[in-house]
Structure 1
Amino acid sequence: MSSPVRRRVSGVFVATALAVALGGCSAPTERATTGTGAAADELSGTLTVYAAASLVSVFDELAGIFEERHPAVDVLPISYDGSSILATQIVEGASVDLFASADERSMAIVADAGLLAGGTELFASNTLRIAVPTGNPAGVTGLADLARPDVSTVVCVPAVPCGAASAKLLDRAGVSVTPVSEEQNVAAVLGKVRSGEADAGLVYATDVAIAARDVEGIVPVGASDVVNHYPLAVLANARNPAAARAFARLVLGDAGQKTLTSFGFGAP
């Protein structure tokens, strides 16, 4: 990647309608105008983004690109966590400009509360992998092995997107797993596998790609049938809606999509 990556973690984070919310643009452009008619390079102030934990690396990269393009805008350290947790925080009053969720269900929590400035737009997709420490010491080969009593398995809590997807995948496979722990987000699951605290964990394909030096990924049977689609939206109470729309355009545009692909995300 040509732009510098800055670590920005602060926590463990109807297409037509959104086009209106993004300033009436028919397609994302690099130097589109904002809804107020100001040129993109005239944006200023701070930008608050809440994003799913699985987006840490790619959104840190995109934040760096955004600030290079708009030097008068300060992207505050992005809040990453389980999407449903972030959605609850927004409903409870958190001041947020842009929300990027790892599933449509969590975004619906915010939409149903009437807190979106417009519609939502899908920008990426992801599927599950079984992550094991390098060398795969427990000899895990598929979902059935996660039910073995000698295999310590970690998953996300069912309330967050990675947990809901894991439960769906296991249920379809007819596998019952008793995890040694249920984590609040996928980053925590990956962390326990990377450190060797667990023999296996269900995470996203992008997590395995990012942690390739420390973990190995196994594609479970049925993974392609359990796909998480990622939506984003500008919040109705956004303090800097112009910058939020511009960031959304970056994510949806060519540069954003190429960056997402480079981190292993699939097409929306």
Structure 2
Amino acid sequence: MEQQLQFITQLGKQKPKTIANNSTACPFCAKESLENIIAQEGPLILLQNKYKTLENTFQTVLIETDKCEDELSMYSKEHIHRLFAFAIRHWMEMEESGVYRSVVLYKNHGPLSGGTISHPHMQIVGFENVDYKEKIKENTFSGITIFKDDAVSFTLSNHPIMGFYEFNVMIRDVEQVNKMADCVQAAVKFLLNDFQFKCESYNLFFYHMDSYIACKIMPRFVASPYFIGYMIPQVSNDIESVAEQIKSIYFS
């Protein structure tokens, strides 16, 4: 069965945009104006998305910090561990509710990520009629090993979804979420600070597969026409040397 989401254009046009427009007030900084809060733990706030732009979904926003200029690569170990535990716990609670066909957890950062608000946040969205796993091939999480132990696997994909460089972090036990957070943060630090191409945008996508939880870290640039027009991904011919570079910087 074909799966697609129905976008409500009228609401989409009303969404505030702070990534490309610094004159727009950040809605996440005005804590006193936040409504429909679902859960809160210190600076972490999960609330219903005010702009429900997708039909047959339940859209939530997870505000990661009260510092608008902050960014995931800058978080302390304590904060990123707390964030990942909070996010994954609420994601799984939505899954286990049985209300939705599937539930996604993801993050946008930067002007090419598809996001509109620069204040650090994630989103958890329940799909009533769409199963995201039907589109996912498990070999997309395989690749060149960057770091691996009994708790976590960190790879650079040799079968990317969209192309070029995609990092994968996998755990089989949710109790190992701290190690997942550490590897994800290392990937983001590498992309923003050490990558051979200037990278200002990325996405995090989380997947709850049968026997593991995965996070895919995607640097975002202008999309390839081969993927946009034909859904053909490309993989770079230097992924082994890139994997070695990350090892030498973050895992030596």
TM-score of the two chains, using structure 1 as the length reference: 0.26
The structure whose residues are more often strand, as a share, is: 2
Q: For CA contacts below 8 A with separation 6 or more, give which structure has more relative contact order.
A: 1
> Based on CA coordinates, which of the two structures has the bigger radius of gyration?
1
The structure whose residues are more often helix, as a share, is: 1
